[in-house]
Structure 1
Amino acid sequence: MKFTYKLNSIGWANVELEIDDVRVYIRPSYLSEPLVDLVRAVESLIPECVEPDEVKNMVIFSWDSEPAIHRWNLEIKENGKLRIKIDVFKDGIETLPFETRIDKECIFNDFIHEIVLTLEAILSEHGIVGYRKQWYGNEFPISSFMQLKHYLSSKSKFPIMINNPDEWDERFQSDLSYELEILKIKKLQ
């Protein structure tokens, strides 16, 4: 399996997904938030990344590829597998007929690993502020990146301290020094 996401000119990205013998190329634009949608969708499939009542077995989101729309369907299967189905609506209208570009299963943790490597490559090339400039003023999904990277290394929930738990003024706090350590770009095992 292979996944890459590279920024290309202002507000455009080149994305490649390859599973087994099937390869898909997508060129999403800033009219949607493709990277944010993808990483938040993946987070919602991981019990360690979201609250228990927010865990999903399937998520659907769309990328605007002007004029096309690519609709992603991610579904958790048995034995740690993830089904990835991407349909394209060539005219950008999701009620019209579509063409399925890929409908394959892969190992879910392998997909997460590829996403984290891609996010690290984006940070390494553009930085956080540079990403915002390159992506037409939209922010890099930094907290999602940190959660996914932490999950890959520990298979546990991101360490969050809750002050005043179960009170109306509950306050969440994470360790900034740990977060800065996670941001250091290094190869995952």
Structure 2
Amino acid sequence: MKFSYVDIRSGNATCALEVNGQKFEFHPTFHSDALGDFVSYLASIHPLCKLSWKDGAFHKINGGIEWHNGPYLLRWEFKRDFEDLEITITENQNPMVDRTKNTNFPRTVLKTKCNFNEFTLCVVKELDRVIKQRGILGYRQEWQNYTFPVDGFLALKYACLYKKPFEITKKQNGTSLEEELNLVIKNID
């Protein structure tokens, strides 16, 4: 299983996904917060990313998320069932680009199951690589309107490393900046 988010430049990126022997490549644009929505969506279904957070921090996203991919919209849907994750990716017509009804859409690109923890770990490793390569502000500079999804990244990384939720309620007035920075810097295997 592989997940990569590369070629981040001028509001475009390349996302490559390899799952169950199938390889896919997508090209989200800055018209949506592709990586931010994806990370928040994954965190919203991760049981360790919402237990200690205030209500609404990672609220459950029903119906999936959409990435603008130029001529079409790419809808990601996750259904978690304990250790299994069902991933459904569907292409839909993008009404911003083409207002004429296209009978080729919607079209299911992928519908598969995989191990939830393995998928999450692949995503977290890639997020770790992206933030260490580009930095928080460097990511924003390239992706234009949206910032790196630090909150979801930290919650997911902590869950992968320690198998427990990131306790933001330890301090009365917020989180520990030192703990957050140490978590960003920490390598994940």
Q: Give the alignment's TM-score, normalised by structure 2.
A: 0.85
Q: How do residues 59-138 of structure 1 correspond to structure 2 at under 5 angstroms? A: 59-78=63-82, 80-89=83-92, 91-93=93-95, 97-138=105-146
Q: Deviations over 1:25-80 (max 9, x none)?
A: 100001000101111111111122125876649651110001210001100124x0
Displacement after TM superposition at 1:134 (Å): 0.6
Matching residue's letter, 1:60: G
Q: In structure 1, what is the equivalent of residue 4 of structure 2? A: 4
Distance 1:162 1:9, change over 3 A: closer
Which range moves more in the overlay, 33-42 or 135-144?
A: 135-144
CA distance in structure 2 between the aligned counterparts of 1:120 and 1:18, rounded to whole angstroms: 18
CA contact (8 A) 1:59 1:75 kept: no
Partner of 2:178: 177
Bigger drift between 104-113 and 152-161 goes to: 152-161
Q: Structure 1 vs Structure 2: percent identity of aligned residues?
A: 27
Greater RCO, 1 or 2 (C-alpha within 8 Å, sep 6+): 2
The SS at the match of 1:161 is helix
In the TM superposition, residue 9 of structure 1 has moved relative to its aligned partner by 2.4
Contact 1:86–1:101 (CA under 8 A) maintained in structure 2 = yes
**Are the aligned partners of 1:57 and 1:76 in contact in 2 as well (CA < 8 Å)?**
no
The Cα shift of 1:21 comes to 2.1
**1:2 and 1:24 mapped to 2: Cα distance?**
10
Most deviating of 153-162 and 26-35: 153-162
* Matched pairs, number: 179
Structure 1 residue aligned with 2:49: 49
